[in-house]
């Protein structure tokens, strides 16, 4: 699969997930097979003000083969200015978030609220495309605001006409948030309506759902299926994994420690630890202990005792 001139190989993509897709996790997923990794959503306003918390989200690891930064905002000029930030120079692809459902984002007309304002969404995409110069621009969005206002076909065409190089469709509405089955038949409908690549997203959990998605789309993006199980990228690509789960955890933590102080890393890692321990019998006590410590070595020992 190609986005602009960038060849993504087999097209297995790690989804942006706020609070989870920090450089440690992205490194592990890339090492195991993800051809493209995406930062979590980064505020365009935060970027132009060089906000410390915003800049922290922009670390990338040496393992990431092709990396995208995802930005969000509702002001075309601010979005364009953000793209020109020197901190974004290292990213191969600029992705625009037009799918985030959370209230504090949509109340500012950002994220999935832009699916209700096509003229503004179009201005944002054109402005970002002009600012990105030769770098490809992608847009991630949903089926629409709610069941009665599904407009992903018109929205996708608008994105294409405004200069987008590829589209990612999370096959749920804003009203669905993350619940209910993803309406996967939408990927094919969108693909038939546009000539740029379509990336399928929503409920890809295993090799079967991954392979099936390629019947309808050009690339496939995996989110929650990778949490606690980065090996999913080897599974779906039919590759053997040369890392045990514990080795993947250690790599994840070691990468994280390159960017964060050990205490911060221990705290940030807690939610990942819960995912890595998913399905491990009697892990409640270990999870509780991990929640209470900011000593990363203790976190490692606790995980070693369980995995």
Alpha carbons 48 and 43: distance in angstroms, whole number: 9
Helices (H) and strands (E) in the chain, counts: 14, 10
Q: Is residue 100 flagged as an active site residue? A: yes
180: three-class secondary structure by DSSP = coil
Sequence-ordered list of residues with C-beta below 8 angstroms from that of 170, at least 6 positions apart, any chain: 99, 140, 141, 142, 143, 182, 201, 202
Minimum distance, C-beta of residue 173 to ligand FMN, in the bound complex (Å): 12
- The answer to whether 77 touches 107, Cβ cutoff 8 Å, is no
Alpha carbons 6 and 32: distance in angstroms, whole number: 20
Owner of token pair 């749920």: 172
Catalytic residue among 1, 79, 80, 100: 100
Beta carbon nearer to ligand FMN, 68 or 300: 68
Minimum distance, C-beta of residue 124 to ligand FMN, in the bound complex (Å): 15
Beta carbon nearer to ligand FMN, 79 or 300: 79
Nearest residue by C-beta to ligand FMN?
223
Beta carbon nearer to ligand FMN, 157 or 224: 224
Beta carbon nearer to ligand FMN, 72 or 260: 72
Minimum distance, C-beta of residue 282 to ligand FMN, in the bound complex (Å): 26
Phi/psi of residue 234, nearest 5 degrees = -75, -45
Minimum distance, C-beta of residue 263 to ligand FMN, in the bound complex (Å): 23
Binding site for ligand FMN (CB under 6 A): 15-20, 40-41, 70, 97, 99-100, 140, 170, 178, 201-204, 222-225
Dihedral sign from CA coordinates of 23, 27, 29, 34: positive
Active site residues: 100
């Amino acid at each position: 699969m190609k986005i602009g001139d960038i060849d993504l190989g087999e097209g297995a993509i790690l989804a942006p997930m706020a609070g989870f897709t920090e450089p440690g996790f992205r490194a592990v997923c890339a090492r195991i097979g993800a051809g493209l990794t995406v930062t979590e959503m980064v505020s365009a306003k935060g970027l132009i003000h060089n906000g410390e918390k915003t800049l922290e989200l922009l670390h990338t690891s040496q393992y990431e083969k092709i990396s995208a930064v995802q930005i969000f905002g509702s002001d075309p000029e601010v979005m364009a200015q953000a793209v020109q930030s020197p901190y974004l120079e290292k990213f191969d692809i600029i992705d625009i978030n037009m799918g985030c459902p959370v209230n504090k984002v949509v109340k500012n007309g950002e994220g999935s609220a832009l699916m209700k304002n096509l003229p503004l969404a179009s201005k944002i995409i054109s402005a970002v495309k002009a600012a990105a110069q030769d770098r490809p621009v992608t847009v991630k969005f949903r089926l629409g605001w709610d069941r009665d206002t599904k407009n992903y076909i018109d929205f996708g065409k608008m994105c294409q006409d405004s200069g987008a190089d590829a589209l990612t469709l999370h096959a749920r509405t804003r009203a669905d948030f993350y619940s209910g089955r993803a309406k996967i038949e939408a990927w094919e409908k969108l693909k038939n309506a546009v000539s740029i690549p379509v990336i399928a997203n929503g409920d890809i959990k295993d090799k079967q759902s991954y392979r099936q998605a390629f019947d309808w789309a050009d690339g496939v993006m995996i989110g929650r299926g990778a949490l606690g199980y980065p090996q999913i990228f080897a599974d779906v690509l039919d590759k053997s994994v040369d890392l045990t789960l514990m080795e993947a955890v250690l790599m994840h933590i070691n990468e994280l420690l390159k960017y964060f102080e050990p205490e911060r890393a221990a705290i940030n890692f807690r939610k990942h630890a819960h995912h890595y321990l998913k399905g491990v019998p009697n892990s409640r006590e270990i999870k509780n202990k991990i929640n209470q410590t900011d000593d990363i070595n203790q976190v490692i020992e606790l995980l070693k005792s369980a995995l």
